[in-house]
């Protein structure tokens, strides 16, 4: 098939700081998805976008083309409103696990297409796959049926949803072109808009463990995504939340499932409960149920009931024992004082190296591996007190760093 444009012209235009024409934008996304543009050419264009950015109207057209590259789910036939949440990714970010059943327990359907972890950030699907029998793959028919019967589905996006992003994200991952506000915003929002929810709450993380290290860049990303969602008729709001310290006390797949179940049982770490409730309030309000107190369903067990039904519907056994690491190594405080910082990025890297994460999309993960924090910033600690547990399947993975090479923890003498 003869192509209407030469991709090199588009690359040069963007490299030199010009806006790409609407017809060229539509064509680039379509041609790349069907294999008519080579990876090296798309990589060059992505790098030009990293450097030159995109104008708002240009980004809107690019995102619309990404959505149009695949199917758009129609959830309008459901008997209740829908709301979804997306986090830009962090360390110990297990919030989807208690949040989806909590919001569903209040009569709002939660269609949540989630991802796997890459690098130092964990992925919701990896966490749930640590539950014996649970499967991430759900057909479109089963997706709709589960939304009707249970009210919440957390699963992998099907191949038909925004295929342009699937291909482009994998390319960006290996070409140093992930860190770009227009590329991140269009990648996330094309999938979320195609998923068909009528309301979306964005949890934009900021801090060392997040993609966005400063409040200014996180705000710009949030505003860009809210603008794209709103333009496509999705009620979209964003919260900027801290990711300089891991959420809760655990980072690692089965460890985080256990902590999430504690939240569903009415307990759990304060920061995880607080963020779960804050996001639930926003989702309920966006779905027209701003007058309900989401905490009720944690207290009376309704959220736990939905969780159990949600896990069972995807083949999982909610009461099965979760994988446990074979090896544990404890790091202790080198001095007495106040723990001033637990660096989210360093903890994420540690969990990843212990086996909880993957270096490539198809690497296996070790479900029992990860990090357990025994103290958080602000805690008084005494020399020799256990501060961190490293969990791994093999001794070599969990062997301790030297006393002075532990960048995750810093303390101030009191």
Catalytic residue positions, numbered = 86, 165, 172, 187, 191
Query: Would strands 380-381 and 250-251 be described as parallel, antiparallel, or unpaired?
Result: unpaired
By the 8 A CB rule, do 198 and 82 touch?
yes
Dihedral of CA 231/236/237/242: which sign? negative
Query: Token pair for residue 345?
Result: 């990025």
Nearer to ligand URA, 156 or 178 (CB): 178
- Position of tokens 């291909």? 167
Smallest distance from ligand URA to CB 97, Å? 18
Write the DSSP symbol of residue 301. S
Smallest distance from ligand URA to CB 120, Å? 13
Smallest distance from ligand URA to CB 138, Å? 19
Smallest distance from ligand URA to CB 182, Å? 10
Smallest distance from ligand URA to CB 86, Å? 8
The residue count for the chain: 414
Smallest distance from ligand URA to CB 62, Å? 13
Nearer to ligand URA, 130 or 187 (CB): 187
- Position of tokens 């060392």? 208
Contact pattern for ligand URA over residues 168 through 207, marking x by CB under 6 A: -x--------x----xx--xx-------------------
Residue nearest ligand URA (C-beta atom): 187
Dist CA 228 CA 220 (whole Å): 12
Nearer to ligand URA, 221 or 273 (CB): 221
Give CA torsion, residues 199, 93, 274, 188, to 10 deg: -20
Q: Binding to ligand URA (CB under 6 A): which residues in 145-174?
A: 169
Nearer to ligand URA, 169 or 249 (CB): 169
Nearer to ligand URA, 121 or 250 (CB): 121
**Would you tell me how many other CB atoms lie within 10 Å of the CB of residue 309?**
17
Nearer to ligand URA, 46 or 102 (CB): 46
Contact pattern for ligand URA over residues 56 through 95, marking x by CB under 6 A: ---------------------------------x------
Smallest distance from ligand URA to CB 300, Å? 35
Determine the longest span between alpha carbons in the chain, in angstroms.
72
Dist CA 271 CA 54 (whole Å): 36
Nearer to ligand URA, 112 or 187 (CB): 187
DSSP class per residue in 199-249:
EEEEEEEESTTSSB-SHHHHHHHHHHHHHHHHHTT-EEEEEEEE-SS-SSS
Nearer to ligand URA, 170 or 330 (CB): 170
Task: Give, in order, the Cα–Cα distances in Å from 221 to each of 39, 139, 182, 344, 386.
Answer: 26, 31, 8, 20, 38
Smallest distance from ligand URA to CB 23, Å? 25
Dist CA 396 CA 364 (whole Å): 18
| DSSP reduced 3-state for 305 | helix
Q: Does 366 bind ligand URA (CB under 6 A)?
A: no
DSSP class per residue in 187-209:
HHHHHHHHTT-SEEEEEEEESTT
Query: Would strands 250-251 and 370-373 be described as parallel, antiparallel, or unpaired?
Result: antiparallel
Which residues on neighbouring strands pair with residue 235, listed in sequence order?
199
Give phi and psi for 43, each to the nearest 5. Answer: -65, -40
Q: Which of 377, 400, 403 is nearest to 390 (CA)?
A: 400
Residues forming the site for ligand URA (CB under 6 A): 89, 169, 178, 183-184, 187-188
């Amino acid at each position: 098939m003869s192509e209407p444009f030469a991709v090199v012209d588009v690359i040069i235009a963007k490299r030199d700081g010009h806006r790409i024409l609407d017809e060229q934008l539509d064509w680039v996304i379509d041609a790349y998805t069907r294999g008519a543009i080579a990876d090296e050419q798309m990589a060059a264009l992505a790098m030009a976008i990293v450097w030159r950015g995109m104008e708002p109207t240009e980004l809107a057209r690019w995102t619309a083309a990404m959505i149009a590259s695949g199917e758009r789910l129609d959830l309008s036939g459901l008997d209740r409103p829908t709301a979804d949440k997306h986090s830009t990714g962090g360390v110990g970010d297990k919030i989807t696990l208690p949040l989806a059943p909590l919001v569903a327990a209040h009569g709002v359907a939660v269609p949540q297409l989630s991802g796997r972890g890459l690098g130092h950030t964990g992925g919701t699907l990896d966490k749930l796959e640590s539950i014996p029998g649970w499967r991430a793959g759900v057909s479109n028919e089963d997706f709709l049926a589960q939304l009707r019967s249970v009210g919440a589905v957390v699963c992998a996006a099907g191949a038909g949803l925004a295929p342009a992003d699937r291909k482009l994200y994998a390319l960006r991952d290996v070409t140093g072109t992930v860190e770009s506000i227009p590329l991140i915003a269009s990648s996330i929002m094309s999938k979320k808009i195609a998923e068909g929810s009528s309301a979306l709450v964005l949890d934009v993380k900021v801090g060392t463990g997040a993609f966005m290290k400063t409040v200014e860049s996180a705000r710009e990303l949030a505003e860009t995504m809210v603008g794209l969602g709103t333009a496509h008729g999705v009620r979209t709001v964003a919260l900027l939340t801290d990711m300089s310290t891991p959420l809760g006390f655990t980072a690692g797949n089965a460890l985080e499932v256990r902590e999430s179940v504690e939240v569903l049982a009415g307990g759990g770490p304060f920061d995880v409960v607080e963020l779960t409730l804050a996001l639930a309030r926003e989702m309920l309000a966006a779905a027209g149920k701003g007058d309900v107190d989401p905490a009720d369903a944690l207290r009376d067990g309704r959220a736990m009931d939905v969780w159990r039904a949600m896990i069972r519907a995807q083949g999982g056994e909610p009461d099965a024992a979760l994988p446990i690491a074979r090896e544990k190594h404890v790091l202790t405080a080198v001095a007495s004082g106040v723990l001033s910082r637990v660096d989210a990025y360093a903890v994420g890297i540690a969990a990843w190296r212990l086996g909880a994460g993957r270096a490539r999309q198809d690497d296996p993960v070790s479900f029992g591996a990860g990090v357990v924090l025994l103290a958080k910033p602000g805690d008084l600690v005494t020399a020799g007190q256990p501060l961190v547990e490293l969990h791994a399947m093999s001794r070599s993975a969990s062997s301790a760093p030297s006393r002075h090479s532990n960048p995750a923890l810093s303390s101030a003498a009191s």
